[in-house]
Structure 1
Amino acid sequence: MKKQSIVLGVAPTKRSFLSMEEAKRQKDKFMAVIRSIHPDVVTIVDIDDICENGILYETAKIPAVVDKFKAAKIDALFTPHCDFGEEQCAAGVAAAMKVPTLMWGARDERPNTDESRGRDTQCGMFACTKVMKRFGVQYSYIWNCETESEDFKNGFDRFIRVVSVVKTVKNLRIAKFGARPVPFMSVMANEADLATRFGITTIPISPNAIAARADKIVEEKDPRYEEYLADIKSRMDTSAMMEQQVARAAAVKLAVQDLMVENNCGAAAMECWSATSILGVPICMTLGEMADEGMPISCETDINGAVTLAMLHAVTLGKESEFLADLTIRHPQNDNAELLWHCGPFPYSLKDPASKARLVGGQERFELKKGDITLCRFDDIDGKYYLFGGEGRAVDGPETNGTYVWFEADNWKRWEEKLMFGPYIHHVGGIYGNYKPVLREAARYLGMIFDDADEQGVYSL
């Protein structure tokens, strides 16, 4: 699975006449913390070679800092305040870069005294954010807290994930495998507007291209083919299928993977069941397997569903798999639980260890694991884009076929009303973990309306 890569510019600031020694002490503390958070994902670009002790307080240094950050092609900017700071410096760099910007400063230990002056960090940040607003800078904020606190660590972690989502959406290429199934008007999307508004590009690829590539993989005895076929059989019970069907499913998955890589696509939307006659086998297993490759694919040519999956994948910094589910039925006994189901495209990595994986007719069959789950749905109506999001948990429920998980919310009635009255369909994306704050903040940067599942919308009768 391909992990995300984030380049972060860090430009600490201090007030010119306040203590440099104290400012450096603060800088050394927070730099040690942020360098320890996702070092495999985040590349930090500092200004140690430009400013004294790597702290910006002279306006004359702004152009050099901006030039370095532009040369490094930073994805985001962090402007920590070592004390009151210089708002013209912090805002000047942020306004020039036009990337997601993080504001924060450490909590002062004490107030001013007659003998010595403190840092007045919070005071300076109030001033700085006003200037940021005037300069049109869109920024995030971690509330005034100690450097060593969990609030700071969690806030920085969330900001990196927000940047990952924003970067992913603005560079997203979606492989569109076929047309939407005729009955599914609900999955229609405005591809031209997605390109104009977000920079999302769709790349049409015929299901016939998948079939032809699968034939080639088999005919040319691609060395990956036999290895992957053996891998499938080692993980799933394939006894309900003929050998040639299992083999075809393996070849189709490799074909889809190759076509996505060749077209530089990070996600896809698949015609699926209506293209089975072309592909020679249901595509369901491929969708689940591709999620575990870091290239999620939505069912039924759901373009907005593909965007949803790409956002969820980015939330985890490319380290975990996501799934696209139908909202199907309410739990027979639990009024706050809903069955998240699809005919067999969920990623194997999310399988409950106690659930036996089977492959039946090219479709996977197993239950997902227990744990906290974040659900969301990107969708649009009348030129407005929405991101519905909320958190819940996987719970016990009746066994069924396909791939599934029973999802419990705090108040399913409120969720159901939101989904019914909003511009959404029967598809939602799911990821394990609690990521609603990240999605909410990413939606703000992307100009989407965040539709919070925890807030009451239009009531049902």
Structure 2
Amino acid sequence: MATQHLLPYIAVAAVSSPLEIGANRAPQTANDLAQVLEMAGCEVLCLGSIGTPDQAIAAGRKAAEAHVDAVVFTPVSWFEDYLVLQFLEECAVSFLFWPLPGMETGALCGTQQITCYLKQLGHPYQAVFGDTQDVKCLQKSQHFLRAAVLKNRLRRARIGFAGHRVPGMTETAPNEFLLKKAIGPIIMPLDLPILLEKAQQKPDAEALQRWQEVVSKAGSCQVSKEDGVYAMKVYTALYDMIREYGLDAVTVGCYPHLMGKVCMSIALLADQGIPFACEGDVNGAVAQLILTLLTGTPTHNTDWLDPLEDDTVIFSHCGSGSFSLAEKQADIRLTPVRLMDQGVCAIFPARPGPVTLLNLMPAPDRYQLAVIEGEAVHAEMVFPGNPVRVRFSQPLSDVMNWVFDEGLGHHWMIGYSHVGEEIRRWADIVGKGVQLLTL
């Protein structure tokens, strides 16, 4: 099972027109920028310099054959726009332009010229301006390049869906055609009876050993050995299906009969980079996948609960969070699930830190993605689940009015760290199929 993380694979090329001042530094500049981006965490294919249509075509074919996520062009002088356009016909990925300063080179003019053209074509691009050591340029470039690889990862993603979405939660129903067209993932139906049958067939001894390992990592346990062993059997059966179908995320229609039966699977799979949404929410699973890819860490699947007097708000679900999301390991309690009083879930207050919250749902003609950043602060066990207490920079009344006015759904996926900028860049790249909603 592949680890979920974003490592942009990019091509770098310097563009110029031979007559122009600065054109002679094209090969060295391409190498220099390639090294900068490698040090910043990218895998780089250096294409050298492009100064003729034939060179543009050859470089485009090389980049396409390598299946790069994006191309970084560094203009070192003015250049003909058709160089990039010829490249585009061979390799139609996202483009980043990094023109170098130079009063007589015309590099900035050439960049404005091509971005003008690409804007009319509707082709995704980003531009920065500064030397190759400019920290702000590098940061902006990283946001765009991570967004580009996010787009490619989502277009290849498979979301496993077992059971059905919860009756009365219409917002969680996916539009499969629109999801594929706008964002990229396909849905792989999983036969729930077969999943449960496979779980029953798993060896007791293996499940017991895994359960004992889980108990050893918790602060306390108030569930029976039988319930714990069954939860581990379900986890193992799900893990087998994930490997069989090559799934990137999953969701199971757990409410109400499977409550407590799959919660530990959610926690354990999250630690392996496989997000798992509750209640058959395919849209939520996709949102969790976005956050997992961008943050590299497990995420919370939550409902928006009540505000507190200090203008913070509590988010939580029944208790399916990765143990790594707990503020203190000693606070992790293994208990039967609320409402149904069955199975096993892990309840604990969530750890503090910067967070990004997403709500993804289909509209009639597009997908809409609401994004807001905040700060998770210390939370008490005010709800038997994994309460996350969030403070927003905006007044909470404004945030709540925004939620109501935009008609946002009730499932909020939470990832640690602020990744709103990458998500905004990703929405720009994917285009009109996704409406980004921000406060």
TM-score, scaled to structure 2 = 0.90
CA distance in 2, matches of 1:217, 1:239: 23
Q: Is the aligned partner of 1:44 residue 2:44? A: yes
Q: Is the aligned partner of 1:163 residue 2:148? A: yes
Opposite residue 429 of structure 1, the aligned amino acid is: M
Contact 2:373 2:418 in 1 (8 A): yes
Secondary structure at the counterpart of residue 308 of structure 1? helix
Secondary structure at the counterpart of residue 293 of structure 1? coil
Partner of 2:124: 138
Secondary structure at the counterpart of residue 30 of structure 1? helix
CA distance in 2, matches of 1:74, 1:135: 21
Structure 1 residues 2 and 133: alpha-carbon distance in aligned structure 2, compared to 1, 3 A threshold = closer
CA distance in 1, matches of 2:257, 2:59: 53
Q: Is the aligned partner of 1:12 residue 2:14? A: yes
Contact 1:16 1:86 in 2 (8 A): no
Q: How far does residue 328 in structure 1 lie from its aligned partner after superposition?
A: 0.8
CA distance in 1, matches of 2:304, 2:323: 20
CA distance in 1, matches of 2:300, 2:379: 19
CA distance in 1, matches of 2:177, 2:122: 27
Which of the numbers 310, 315, 326 marks the counterpart of 1:334? Answer: 310
Partner of 1:114: none
Encode CA deviations 1:275-297: one digit per residue, 9 max, x unaligned.
Answer: 428xxx53112112212211111
Q: How does 1:381-396 map to 2 (within 5 A)?
A: 381-396=363-378
Partner of 2:322: 347
TM-score, scaled to structure 1 = 0.86
Q: How far does residue 160 in structure 1 lie from its aligned partner after superposition?
A: 2.7
Identity of aligned residues (%): 20
Contact 1:34 1:156 in 2 (8 A): no
Q: How far does residue 372 in structure 1 lie from its aligned partner after superposition?
A: 0.6
**Could you list the runs of 5+ residues in structure 2 that have no partner in the other structure?**
337-343
Which of the numbers 180, 198, 221 marks the counterpart of 1:239? Answer: 221
CA distance in 2, matches of 1:296, 1:149: 36
Which of the numbers 399, 410, 426 marks the counterpart of 2:410? Answer: 426
CA distance in 2, matches of 1:124, 1:191: 42
Structure 1 residues 132 and 398: alpha-carbon distance in aligned structure 2, compared to 1, 3 A threshold = same
Aligned Cα root-mean-square deviation (Å): 2.1
Contact 2:4 2:293 in 1 (8 A): no
Contact 2:162 2:190 in 1 (8 A): yes
CA distance in 2, matches of 1:131, 1:383: 28
Contact 2:349 2:379 in 1 (8 A): no
Q: How far does residue 371 in structure 1 lie from its aligned partner after superposition?
A: 1.0
Opposite residue 442 of structure 1, the aligned amino acid is: W
Partner of 1:91: 85
Q: Is the aligned partner of 1:102 residue 2:88? A: no
CA distance in 1, matches of 2:5, 2:420: 21
Opposite residue 129 of structure 2, the aligned amino acid is: N
Secondary structure at the counterpart of residue 258 of structure 1? helix
Q: How does 1:1-400 map to 2 (within 5 A)?
A: 1-17=3-19, 18-38=21-41, 42-47=42-47, 54-108=48-102, 111=103, 118-141=104-127, 143-218=128-203, 222=206, 225-276=207-258, 281-316=260-295, 319-331=296-308, 333-335=309-311, 337-353=312-328, 356-361=331-336, 362-400=344-382
Q: How far does residue 306 in structure 1 lie from its aligned partner after superposition?
A: 1.1
Contact 1:107 1:144 in 2 (8 A): yes
Contact 1:308 1:377 in 2 (8 A): yes
Structure 1 residues 135 and 16: alpha-carbon distance in aligned structure 2, compared to 1, 3 A threshold = farther
Contact 2:81 2:110 in 1 (8 A): yes
